[in-house]
Structure 1
Amino acid sequence: MQYLKKNQQGMSITTWIMLIAIALFLVLLGVRMVPSYMEYYSMAKIMESIKDDPQYRKAPPKQLRKIFNRRVNINAIYDFDQKYLKIDRSKGKTSMILDYEIRKPVAGNVSVLMHFHKEVDWK
């Protein structure tokens, strides 16, 4: 009778369902988070390009903000609130500081909170 006894091999249906549920949750999380990260990287790139452009080295903060806003609109970032961009000209240098948080709903009462910070300095 030893030959009739078989050991279970592979995963059960319950394990497969759990793995699929976890994978779907991670995909949903990625769908919610990726656009926010892409917007942040676009804004960081805009800040770096303003820093690297020699014609804006001595520009006043109001003009730097206007240039930043124009480039943000060109990149189709419409949900950005301008209060999160700080421009400081002190101690002989210019600083552009981008600091904000975004909360995105994922499913039901579950949300993801993302914090973004970028600082660019030049003399």
Structure 2
Amino acid sequence: MRTQRGLSFFGFIIIAGFVAAAAIVFFKVVPAYIEYFNVKKAVTSVAKEQGTQPAAAIRESFDKHANISDIKAVSGKDLQIIQAGGKTSITVGYEKVVPVVANVSLLFDFNVDAAGSGAE
């Protein structure tokens, strides 16, 4: 006599529940990381292009990049700009809270550092 193999309906429901929960978390987390990579790209670009400019010009340039890249979590006033010894260092840190379901949320702590040379 052959034994029955396969997945029962109850087992299928449990596995489908885990897959659905993982998919929900994945689709809610991806936009936060896309925004992080856009912030990183904008900060790096501004550090390279505007490294010789004063801090106000760097902040304005970042705001333009943020407007184009649809960055909402960080603005130019959040940038920490250090210009010393002919080099410019730009850092920004921010937190992003991603609501998952009901009162359950995920907290992400992002930090971006970029350095550009002052004299090219």
TM bucket by the smaller chain? 0.7 to 0.9
SS in 2 for 1:10: coil
- TM-score, normalised to structure 1, is 0.83
1:6-56: per-residue Cα shift (whole Å, max 9, x none)?
423111112111111111111111121111111111111111212332xx2
Is 1:17 the counterpart of 2:37? The answer is: no
Corresponding residue for residue 39 of structure 1: 35
- Give distance in 2, aligned partners of 1:95 and 1:122: 6
Give yes or no for contact 2:47–2:88 (8 Å, CA) kept in 1.
Answer: no
- TM-score, normalised to structure 2, is 0.85
| Unaligned residue ranges in structure 2 (runs of 5+) | none
The code of the aligned residue for 1:29 comes to V
The code of the aligned residue for 1:90 comes to A
> Would you say how many aligned residue pairs link Structure 1 and Structure 2?
117
1:55-98: per-residue Cα shift (whole Å, max 9, x none)?
x2311111101110111012222343555421122354211112
Determine what percentage of the aligned residue pairs are the same residue.
28
Larger Rg: 1
